[in-house]
Amino acid sequence: MKHIKQPAIDTQIEDGRIRTLVEGMLSEIRANGEDAVRKYAADLDGWTSDFALSDEKKQRLIAQVPQQTRDDIGFAFKQISRFAKAQRGSIQDFQIDTEPGVTLGQRCVPVDCAGCYIPGGRYAHVASALMSVATAKAAGVPFVVAASPPRGDAIDPSVAYALDLAGADVILEMGGVQAIASMALGLFGARPADILVGPGNAYVAEAKRQLFGEIGIDVFAGPTESAVIADDTADPMTVAIDLLSQAEHGTNSPVWLFTTSPELSETVARIIPKVAADWPTGEVALTAWENFGEVILCETREEMAAVSDRYACEHLQVQTADLDWWLNRLRNYGSLFLGEGSTVTHGDKCSGTNHILPTRQAARYTGGLNVMKFLKVLTWQEIKTDADPEMSAVASRLSRVEGMDGHARACDWRLQKFGGQTSWDFEVAHQVRYD
């Protein structure tokens, strides 16, 4: 494997700066609550109005949304909900009788309240509003709080429409770390969230990371990443456009090309600046390409697969002759886009799979947002008093192997009470009981 193009910037230094800054903001908000949030919203976003979006203002915003946009948001909502509901159907409650009188079960119970962050700094992330809220609702979450940074004197009207359509119960016009903290702590009349979901910039992703434990989070969904795997059958122009289209997310959005074709790698690197020349967002995309773009030339498809799995990219496109081989072989990615007909934009906006996906190699251990993230898989059991006593006898003996005599006695008591077996002198227990 050979690096044809390397990134120009070291992300480690930036990570340390953001970690410290977010730590300070969260502790300030814990100490001074809503006052601290108001200060950050004013300083960072120039916002000094109320945060909770009133019904009257929401209706005014929604009225501004053109019919075509409503229809398109409706289309995306339908696709995303269909996929999410199919996911919900794929995980079931069940119970199983493992022995006579022994029943074990699983129940999938949604969290009470989800906090959904919808980014809105550089772009109005309309689709993100659907991805999080519609998925939470498909999972059966009864109460959803959403927060999105205001753009001018309100959140984006199309975001307001999408949030309303998807069923958000409370909407906060607020962005960044302060919005994440407000949803976690239940400030400004919002219920404290049990889980925080949604993508965001490096500050937002870091705030979620630091709050994890105290509150659930979906995934580490920071600045967008994209990679293309291409062999010599791929069209260099399609590859260049696809890489640039995702680099558009922000100047810290890396894009990677893994290829076995020296010609393709050379052509793509050469044409990228020319392709971006007339894009309205070309400067952002090109800066991201310069700062973080990488091109890696591999000897074989096996080596490409290994490199790709190591990068564990958020979005992964495959433009090769042998798509089935790749689908079966690849193990680490947030979402996979197979063939030249699929591009990340399809999944980002409306095809139906979720676009809130793991970044920074988190795809090694998790997929993206899905209904399961909002569900707790709870287990239960009923061991009948006339069940085979062996269950209690084994539990008792294993407890003593571990040195836990109290645990053992909880079973010994039952063995004696229901099975007539004695392995312990029950005199004291009887005395206490009949005193």
Ligand X SMILES: NC(=O)c1ccc[n+]([C@@H]2O[C@H](COP(=O)([O-])OP(=O)(O)OC[C@H]3O[C@@H](n4cnc5c(N)ncnc54)[C@H](O)[C@@H]3O)[C@@H](O)[C@H]2O)c1
Among Zn ion, ligand X, none, partner that 347 touches (CB below 5 to 8 angstroms by kind)? none
How many residues in the shown chain lie near Zn ion by CB under 5 A? 1
Minimum Å gap between C-beta 150 and ligand X is 8
Q: Pairing state of beta strands 226-230 and 216-217?
A: unpaired
DSSP annotation string for 71-108: HHHHHHHHHHHHHHHHHHHHS--EEEEEETTEEEEEEE
CA distance 106 to 94: 5
Phi first, then psi, for residue 257 (nearest 5°) are -120, 125
Does 348 bind Zn ion (CB under 5 A)? Our answer is yes
Two tokens, residue 3: 């690096």
7-16: which pairs have CB atoms within 8 A and are 24 or more residues apart? 7/254, 7/291, 7/292, 7/293, 7/294, 8/290, 8/291, 8/292, 9/291, 9/292, 11/252, 11/292, 14/202, 14/252
Nearer to ligand X, 170 or 369 (CB): 369
Among Zn ion, ligand X, none, partner that 115 touches (CB below 5 to 8 angstroms by kind)? none
By CB under 5 A, which span of 331-339, 347-355, 364-372, 383-391 interacts with Zn ion? Answer: 347-355
By CB under 5 A, which span of 84-92, 104-112, 122-130, 346-354 interacts with Zn ion? Answer: 346-354
Minimum Å gap between C-beta 388 and ligand X is 50
Nearer to Zn ion, 206 or 348 (CB): 348
Catalytic site residue from 173, 315, 340, 355? 315
3 belongs to the catalytic site: no
Nearer to Zn ion, 175 or 334 (CB): 334
CA distance 25 to 38: 12
Interacting residue ranges for ligand X, rule: CB under 6 A: 44-45, 119-122, 128, 149, 175-177, 199-201, 203-204, 221-224, 249-250, 253, 314, 355-357, 359
CA atoms within 13 A on the CB side of 396: 17
Nearer to ligand X, 7 or 419 (CB): 7
- CA distances (Å), origin 33, targets 68, 215, 376: 41, 17, 29
402 is in an annotated binding site: yes
Phi first, then psi, for residue 373 (nearest 5°) are -65, -25
Among ligand X, Zn ion, none, partner that 120 touches (CB below 5 to 8 angstroms by kind)? ligand X
- Is the distance from CB of 422 to CB of 414 less than 8 angstroms? no
214 belongs to the catalytic site: no
Nearer to Zn ion, 173 or 348 (CB): 348
Minimum Å gap between C-beta 344 and Zn ion is 5
Catalytic site residue from 173, 206, 248, 314? 314
Burial of 305 (0-12, 13-18, 19+ CB in 10 A): buried
> Which chain residues interact with Zn ion by CB under 5 A?
348
Q: Which residues are catalytic?
A: 314-315
Residue numbers belonging to the annotated binding site: 117, 178, 201, 224, 246, 249, 315, 348, 402, 407
Residue numbers belonging to the annotated binding site for NAD(+): 117, 178, 201
